[in-house]
A and B are shown apart, each in its own frame.
Chain A
Amino acid sequence: MTDKISKALFEYCLRLGDSPLILGQRLGEWCGHGPILEEDIALTNIALDLIGQSRAFLTYAGEIEAKGRTEDDLAFLRNEREFRNLLLTEQPNGDFAQTMLRQLFVSAFQYYFYSALKLSKDKTLSALAEKSLKEVSYHLRHSAQWVIRLGDGTSESKARLENALDELWKYTGDLFDMDDTDTILIKEGIVPDLNLLREDWLDKISETFGLASISIPENVFMMSGSRKGKHTEHLGHMLSEMQYLQRAFPGATW
């Protein structure tokens, strides 16, 4: 592997590892606060799957980088601008509607993304994609069902879902942003072209929105920046909590 490719692959593995890490951490904030017991368990189960996926991708990132950094070093000792998670994943939980809509957007993306990444020429990425795909299928089904139920529910639940949509739609463009890192790796057959996933994603969202009786907003200015580590104000606050222990007591174990 040339230097150029391995650098790009390291960068890409951070993207793969950071999104599930940050979303998993967000979902973990629901622990003990779910609207009903089953949902508390569901949200934390999804969080657990995501943290597990993150661990595998960050471990692989550390191996590619070959500077001895572990999954923990990468999760706890990088600053905000070094994180490559999707902007959607760091958005606050808000109410249950906002959490579920965020989940639908991300899970649908992951579903089509992992389906494509399964075909990667990189054996590790292909295996991790196949494993993760099985898990995100449950997440997608679960979040889609809730979005339908909320949109097609009471006027209160529908209003909340529409508020969530106003809040989150502008971050969906960021899902499909690509840069030189993508170009290098697409050429090698290591990662998929995200442009080719956009239509499937949009179809799934449209189908779900149809059943939920809500519409996709038009003429929304899309936020971007995750590929360059430019985040919304929410990530820094979240990291200060997530990383506190390792920053205050470096190397602490339990």
Chain B
Amino acid sequence: MLIQKEKIWSILKEIPDPEIPVISIVDLGIARDVRIEGEKVIVDITPTYSGCPAMNTIEKDIIEKIKETGIERVEINTVFSPVWTTDWLNDEAKEKLREYGIAPPDGKSTDKSLLTGKPKIINCPRCGSKKTVLVSQFGSTACKALYKCESCLEPFDYFKCH
């Protein structure tokens, strides 16, 4: 059987992130590369954060979905370079996050104001208000911070620019 790379990519595009199921592991930049070696498929993945507990689930999902198509040998290879960044999220993925209630990353990861600067103004994903406050740099998962909207009074997650 001749395995085609494009087919593998289209499978990967259908695999949702386990913690943010509205975007795929390709949208998120976790799936980095696909290589075919004869009968074997190798998929490179990179973690968002070092301790991301979803990585094991993602590995299992990839292997399972590819094997469903009749391919028997699938290997997952974890890579750390280039380092994962939210800059890889495209506009469509950001819009999906907003619709899901998560404020998408704002700006570029090269912005070094993290250590010194004030927290950024993040628009509320529900009502669009700019009157929001940072509650905690650490939210429900490693990649998110917790904000509160002072207009609609709802708390919300912000996908940190990283």
Contacts and interface: CB of A to CB of B under 8 A. Distances in A.
B49 A135 contact: yes
Nearest to A126: B81
B interface, over-half SS:
loop
Given A38-B136, A142-B137, A50 B83 contact: no
Given A127-B83, A131-B83, A141-B114, A49 B135 contact: no
A49 B114 contact: no
B84 A49 contact: no
Interface string A43-55: 0011111111101
A123 interface: yes
Contacts of A52: 47, 49-52
A41 to B, nearest CB: 5
A53 B51 CA distance: 7
Given A128-B80, A130-B83, A142 B138 contact: yes
Interface residues of A, number: 30
A49 B115 contact: no
B83 A49 contact: no
Contacts of A124: 80
Contact of A130 (B81, B115, B135, B136): B81
Interface in A93-141: 123-124, 126-128, 130-132, 134-135, 137-138, 140-141
Interface of B: 47, 49-53, 80-81, 83-84, 109, 114-115, 135-140, 142, 146, 162
